[in-house]
Structure 1
């Protein structure tokens, strides 16, 4: 499924958080979004997910303006995993994941054994099946993040948007979640802080002060000059002698 932003702008109290952003995500593509804190990555993801309506421009889902679509139809196609989502409800991990099935339920389409199987598989995929009956408030930050990813998987989206999904995860679960996302037969847009993780994306977009300032393959975008200009760091790009992958080492720019 294709996702397109056309000249999207979004502001709050006169402060531009997105400024004339145009972007096309191809079906099946894994697109990485990078940039400093406050550059607009989260706002762009929320606009692409249909959670915030752009003040200017428009977002299209398979060439259909999202503004004209019912929210249920959007939720049947797009799942969004936020950096951190909290609840004060006394709710269990399995119940959180079951919420991913909400767009597909109605009085004419009640909960079925197939929904149970989808939820079970989602919990299993993120390694949370043994903790499925635990209450939300007893879970660690990393466990909660894996539950949220499972909820998105249970939604069975055609487009998956993730806002720095590995922030609260230990390195083992970071790698397993990124590997799982890469294997999914869906279009993926993922905001990342770890630039070495961004190397595995098909394409990368760079955000600065609400604008998309660079776009291309990891090799085209993640250059020493770009990293110095955008992040203020000096990067040494080396090749792993085992698998020949490019790896970046960083130090503060002088």
Structure 2
């Protein structure tokens, strides 16, 4: 499924949070969003998910204006994992993941064994099935994050949007989640702080002050000059001794 943004704009309290942002994410592509805090990544993801309507411009899903789609129809094809999503309800991890099936349920299509199987598979994918019956408030931050990712997977989306999904995760689960995302046969847009993780994306876009200032293959976009200008760091590209891939070594700008 192709996801497009056409000249998106958003202003809040006189501040331009998104400024004329346009991009096309191709079917099956993994597109990384990088940029400093406050650069507009979260605002853009929420618009692409249909949770916030742009003040100007449009979001298109396979060429169809999202503004003309019902929220249920959007939820049947697009899932978002936000940075901070919490609940005060006394619910179990399995019940949170089961919420991902909500767009597909109706009086004529009640909960079924198929839904149960989808939820169990999603819990397996994020290594949380053994904690499925744990209450939400007993889970750590990293465990909650994995449950939210499982909830999104349970939607069986054609487009998966993730806002810094490795926050709170230990290194083992960071790597396993990113590996899982890369293997999914769907369109993915993922906001990342770790620029080395962004190197594994098909393309990356660099956000700065609400604008998408660069876009393309990671090796062409995440140059030493770009990292110096946008992130205020010096970076050396070196070869990983294990597999020969290019990785970054950072030094702060003095």
Q: Name the TM-score, length of structure 1 as normaliser.
A: 0.99
Per the alignment, in what secondary structure is the counterpart of residue 51 of structure 1? coil
* SS in structure 1 at match of 2:100: helix
**What residue is the counterpart of 1:75 in the other structure?**
75
What is aligned with 2:43? 43
Distance 1:104 1:129 in 2: 22
Give the SS at the match of 1:73. Answer: helix
CA apart distance, 1:11? 1.0
Q: Does 1:183 align with 2:183?
A: yes
Q: Does 1:90 align with 2:82?
A: no
Please name the residue that 2:117 is paired with: 117
- Most deviating of 234-243 and 103-112: 234-243
List structure 1 segments (4+ residues) > 6 angstroms apart after TM superposition. none
1:156-175 CA-to-partner distances (Å, cap 9, x unmatched) read: 00000000000110000000
Note the C-alpha offset of 1:84.
Answer: 1.5
Give the deviation of 1:224 after TM superposition: 0.3
Measure how far apart 1:70 and its partner are. Answer: 0.2
Shift of 1:242: 2.6
What is the SS of the residue equivalent to 1:234? strand
Q: Return the offset for 1:176.
A: 0.2
- Secondary structure of the structure 2 residue equivalent to 1:85: coil
Deviation at 1:240, TM superposition (A): 1.3
Match of 1:23 in 2: 23
Q: Which residue of 1 aligns with 2:227?
A: 227
| C-alpha distance in 1 between matches for 2:38 and 2:53 | 19
Residue 14 of structure 1: CA displacement?
1.8
TM-superposition CA deviations, 1:52-87 (whole Å, max 9, x none): 000000000000000000000000000000011111
Whole-Å separation in 1 of the counterparts to 2:100 and 2:112? 14
SS of the residue corresponding to residue 59 of structure 1 reads: strand
Structure 2 alignment gaps of length 5 or more: none
Which shows bigger deviation, 108-117 or 235-244?
235-244
* Corresponding position of 2:210: 210
What does residue 61 of structure 1 align with? 61
Count of matched residue positions in the alignment of Structure 1 and Structure 2: 254
* Shift of residue 13, structure 1, vs aligned partner: 1.7
Paired position in structure 1 for 2:142: 142
TM-score, with normalisation over the residues of structure 2? 0.99
